[in-house]
Chains A and B, each alone.
Chain A
Amino acid sequence: MTTERPKILTDKTHIPGIETFDVYRKNGGYSAVEKALKTMTPDEVVEEVKKSGVRGRGGAGFPMGMKWSFLAKPEGVPRYLVCNGDESEPGTFKDHWLMKTIPHLLIEGMIVSSYALGANTSYIYVRGELMYVVRILEKAIAEAKAAGFLGKNILGSGYDLELYVQPGGGAYICGEETALLESLEGKRGNPRNKPPFPAVKGLYQCPTVVNNVESIATTSWIVNNGGDAYAAIGIGRSTGTKLISASGHLKKPGVYEIPLGLPVQEFIYSDEWCGGIRDGHHLKAVVAGGSSVPILPAAMLLKTANGEDRLMSYESLSDGGFATGTMMGSGGFIAMDETACVVKNTWNFSRFYHHESCGQCSPCREGTGWMEKVLHRIEHGHGSMHDIDLLVDVAKKIEGNTICPLGDAAAWPVASAIRHFRDEFEWHITHPQEATRPGAIFKGHMELV
Chain B
Amino acid sequence: MTLMSMIAAEFAKLARSLSWTVVVLLPAAMVLAGALSSLVAGQQPADGWHTVWLRSVVFYGLFPLAIGVAVLGSLVWRAEHRGGNWNALMSTPVSSLRLVAAKTAVIAALAMAMQLVMLLCVTVAGKAVFALPGMLPARYLLISGVIMLATVPLAALQSGLSMLLRSFAAPVAVAFLGAGASTVLLLAEIGPIVFLSPYALATRATQLGTGTFADGGEIAGATVGSLLAATALLSLVTIAGAAAILDRRDTRT
A and B part of one assembly: no
Binding site for B on A (CB under 8 A): none
Which B residues have a C-beta under 8 Å from some C-beta of A?
A: none
